[in-house]
Amino acid sequence: MNEKRMDAAGKPLPEITDATRPFWTAAKNRKLVVQKCGRCGTLNFLPKPWCIDCGGRQLDWVEVSGRGTIYSFTTASKVMMNFPGWKADLPVTLGIIDLDEGARMYGQVIGIKPEAIRIGLKVAVTFEDISPEAGIPKFVPA
């Protein structure tokens, strides 16, 4: 069985591939990057080998502001998927964020009580380290 790698707290670590490494490395360096299509300018998230809009294959990593608006969110109050490392963080809110530059991204929303989170809330990115080589973007109220 392919065991998931865990961090010290018992949370699963992302599987980092050549296609996604620039994202995790940038987050480690406190930058939020997404792929930008060299043909039509569309910003892609998640990272893909082709543009989600025109299919173009010339994709460059560009830094974005990390500012955005909550499009939707859900809050978990119980540990999911047998990852007890999350227990200390409960409740955990996962937001879908419309970045000001145009891409739609998801990330944990922190620094606000879940009952105060609203669709349309303005947020800004913040970063946490998850391993020696990777950081993860999270979002706080702007």
Q: How far apart are CA 9 and CA 18, in angstroms?
A: 26
Q: How far apart are CA 32 and CA 29, in angstroms?
A: 9
Binding segment for Zn ion among 35-43, 59-67, 79-87, 115-123 (CB under 5 A)? 35-43
Window 74 to 113, contacts with Zn ion (CB under 5 A): none
Provide the token pair at 74: 């859900």
Binding segment for Zn ion among 48-56, 71-79, 104-112, 124-132 (CB under 5 A)? 48-56
Could you say whether residue 34 binds Zn ion (CB under 5 A)? no
Q: Which of 12, 22, 47, 56 binds Zn ion (CB under 5 A)?
A: 56
Residues at the contact surface with Zn ion, assessed by CB under 5 A: 37, 39-40, 42, 51, 53-54, 56
